[in-house]
Amino acid sequence: MSTEETIAALDRGDVRVAEKVDGDWRVNEDAKAAILDYFRLRKVEPIEVGPYEYVDKIPLKHDYAEAGVRVVPPATARYGSYLSPGVVMMPSYVNIGAWVGPNTMIDTWATVGSCAQIGADVHLAGGVGVGGVLEPVQARPVIVEDGAFIGSRCILTEGVLIGERAVLAPNVSLTGSVPVIDVTGPEPVEHRGYVPPYSVVVPGTRPKEFPAGTFQIGCALIIGRRSARTDMKTSLNDVLREYAIGA
């Protein structure tokens, strides 16, 4: 496919930047390369939307009603991103190459970066920052699997993978190198760039030695597993109360 055809296919959801195949996420390098080419081909031009004026290379998405998507002003999604039926965009932003699954809520001031893959029935709470991963083309984007709840002001970057139905408490900040430590057993189990399915995760710190002394550095702690009786109608506070974290 040509660059234009690939971007159009991304916009329709016919092509994805990454997909789960036989249990593993695989990156579509050709799709990512097409996005980079599209930026080079496009020229900056004014875009007028009612009282709003933008100056950008990438057009905005259209036909939300036909797609079954609710978009609250001034939410913005770029052409080349895909929003599934039932998605709700509060004033928020979705970048090119992103894929958002059915019935997912993108809450106020949340951002979904370029190429990020967000599953079905996900809640990205207010101010969540999902980073974009365009280069290198073989790099995995940030992935949030089905049913996950990402609490307010969480930050997910550098190709972090959040397993299905995981719950992240507010202010969890994850990169490819931030330790995610399971403290539910007799010994800590450490992950990097990955939160296992059904995990309940809170911000944490751990000591690290430096020449100037011992200081605390950020990490994330897995404090439990989301129970089968906890569904998407249950609030984040209810989940955290199970582990004596919520108010």
pLDDT of residue 50: 84
Residue 227: what are its φ and ψ, rounded to 5°? Answer: -75, 155
Q: Using 50, 70 and 90 to split pLDDT, how confident is the model at 242?
A: low
Task: Give the integer Cα–Cα distance in Å for 60 and 53.
Answer: 12
Instruction: State both tokens at 190.
Output: 């450490």
pLDDT tens digit sequence for 22-61: 999 999 999 999 999 999 999 999 998 888 889 999 999 9
Q: How confident is the model at residue 51, as a pLDDT?
A: 87
pLDDT, tens only, 138-190: 999 999 999 999 999 999 999 999 999 999 999 999 999 999 999 999 999 99
pLDDT (0 to 100) of residue 49: 83
- Domains (range + CATH), the chain: 3-241 (2.160.10.10)
Predicted confidence (pLDDT) at residue 247 exceeds the cutoff of 50: no
Q: Are strands 52-56 and 45-49 parallel, antiparallel or unpaired?
A: antiparallel
In this prediction, residue 81 carries a pLDDT of 98
* Region 13-20 average pLDDT: 96
Token couple for 64: 């939300």
Q: Are 60 and 95 in contact (CB under 8 A)?
A: no
The token pair at 6 is 């690939």
